[in-house]
Amino acid sequence: EDQVTQSPEALRLQEGESSSLNCSYTVSGLRGLFWYRQDPGKGPEFLFTLYSAGEEKEKERLKATLTKKESFLHITAPKPEDSATYLCAVLLYSGGGADGLTFGKGTHLIIQP
Amino acid sequence: EPEVTQTPSHQVTQMGQEVILRCVPISNHLYFYWYRQILGQKVEFLVSFYNNEISEKSEIFDDQFSVERPDGSNFTLKIRSTKLEDSAMYFCASSEVQQYFGPGTRLTVT
């Protein structure tokens, strides 16, 4: 069975304290890996797409990387407004054109001032 | 910036009643999706829709669910006879490549 596992489940950091969130996947036929941010009571907000091992994407304080087994979301010098749940999702090859994402449970990140 | 919109933001219904959740996808997107998130759990895929037909559906999307694109802008999810376990946030998404999500409809079944 395809699996997406995120760790840690929750992470509390001081403002300015850099860290990394992990997303490991055991899937066959990865088409793409996606990172989303979700605030309480809101829909997932798209951050990054990664397609192949070695690829990196960056946006402000966030940087996403991908290997053959896992992805990392690095957060550098975070601010309180970066507090959210970060979701990892994978898109698999199925032969169809409109395929659903398989999500992990997310990492709940709290940045304390 | 274009965004996916959903109505209503919160729907309360009694068990056994039918509900219709509505979505307006981003205008130039061709692929549409419904997901649900039970409180405290992960986001789960329900169904995808392309070219006026279902492209893929999960095990969750059984006969009580249906989707429709009744006109050029709306995309709806109908639940025919709601159960208590249907209580969840329902998210619509649309895509060209990346999937963009709406703010969700919180469905409460009593």
Residues of chain B found within 8 Å of residue A99, distances taken between Cβ atoms: 48, 55-56
Q: Residues 6 or more apart from A67 whose CB is under 8 A from it?
A: A53, A54
The sign of the CA dihedral B71, B74, B75, B80 is negative
Q: Tell me, what's the pLDDT at B77?
A: 98
Contacts of B55 in chain A (CB under 8 A): 96-99
Partners of residue A97 in chain B, C-beta under 8 Å? 31, 50, 55
**Cα A18 from chain centre:** 16
User: What is the per-residue pLDDT for A92?
Assistant: 81
Between the alpha carbon of residue B64 and those of residues A96, B31, B32, the distances in Å are: 23, 22, 19
CA distance A36 to chain B (A): 10
> Cβ–Cβ of B58/A103 closer than 8 Å?
no
**Residue A43, both tokens:** 């829909």
Half-sphere exposure (CA, 13 Å, Cβ side) for A105?
10
Report the distance separating Cα B27 and Cα A49, nearest Å.
Answer: 21
Contact A15, A113 (CB under 8 A): yes
pLDDT band at A99 (very low <50, low <70, confident <90, very high): confident
Q: What is the mean pLDDT of the segment spanning A95-108?
A: 85
pLDDT (tens digit, 9 = 90+) per residue, B63-81?
Answer: 999 999 988 789 999 999 9
User: Which tops the pLDDT comparison, A95 or A74?
Assistant: A74
Q: What is the least distance, in Å, from the CA of A94 to any CA of chain B?
A: 9
pLDDT tens track for A13-57: 999 999 999 999 988 788 899 999 999 999 999 999 999 999 999
The yes-or-no verdict on residue A95 having pLDDT over 90 is no
| Shortest Cα–Cα distance, A35 to chain B (Å) | 10
pLDDT tens digits, residue range B16-59?
999 999 999 999 899 999 999 999 999 999 999 998 899 999 99
* DSSP string covering A55-73: -EEEETTEEEEE-SSEEEE
> What is the reported pLDDT for B87?
98
A83-100 as b/e, with b when 16 or more CB fall inside 10 Å?
bbbbbbbbbbeeeeebbb
Name the percent of chain B lying above pLDDT 70: 100
A42–B55 CB contact, under 8 Å: no
Three-class HEC string of chain B? CCCCEEECCEEEECCCCCEEEEEECCCCCCEEEEEEECCCCCCEEEEEEECCEEEEECCCCCCCEEEECCCCCCEEEEECCCCHHHCEEEEEEEECCCEEECCCEEEEEC
For residue A35, list chain B residues with Cβ-Cβ distance below 8 A: none
Q: Encode pLDDT of B79-90 as tens digits.
A: 999 999 999 999
| Integer Cα distance of A90 and A4 in angstroms | 8
